[in-house]
Amino acid sequence: MDIRVILGTNTRRYRKKRELSQEALAIKIGADRAYVSAIERGLQNMTIVRIAELAIALDVDVVELLQK
């Protein structure tokens, strides 16, 4: 499975678990809602820095976002 799809699936799961909208998560990471949508659909090729920012915003370890 593509790592971007794994990252997207986990991002969506943790976002919903924290009861955040895509818009709220986007604000937390300083991005656009469409960017969060693209992450969740596995379309974004993110840098490790952006993945770390995403993990902080979701209050999870980076490893949790990348685990299958």
Q: Which amino acid is residue 28, in one-letter code?
A: K
Overall domain count for the chain? 1
Per-residue pLDDT at 64: 97
Helix, strand or coil, per DSSP, at residue 17: helix
- pLDDT band for 45, please (50, 70, 90 cuts): very high
Mean pLDDT, range 48-54, rounded to an integer:
97
Residue 43 belongs to what domain range?
Answer: 3-66
Mean pLDDT, range 38-57, rounded to an integer:
97
Beta carbons of 4 and 44 less than 8 angstroms apart? yes
Compute how many other C-beta atoms are within 10 angstroms of the C-beta atom of residue 41: 13
Cα-only R_g, the chain: 10
Predicted confidence (pLDDT) per residue in 4-38, tens digit: 999 999 999 999 999 999 999 999 999 999 999 99
pTM for this one? 0.94
CATH number of the domain bearing residue 37: 1.10.260.40
Per the model's pLDDT, the better-predicted residue between 1 and 21 turns out to be: 21
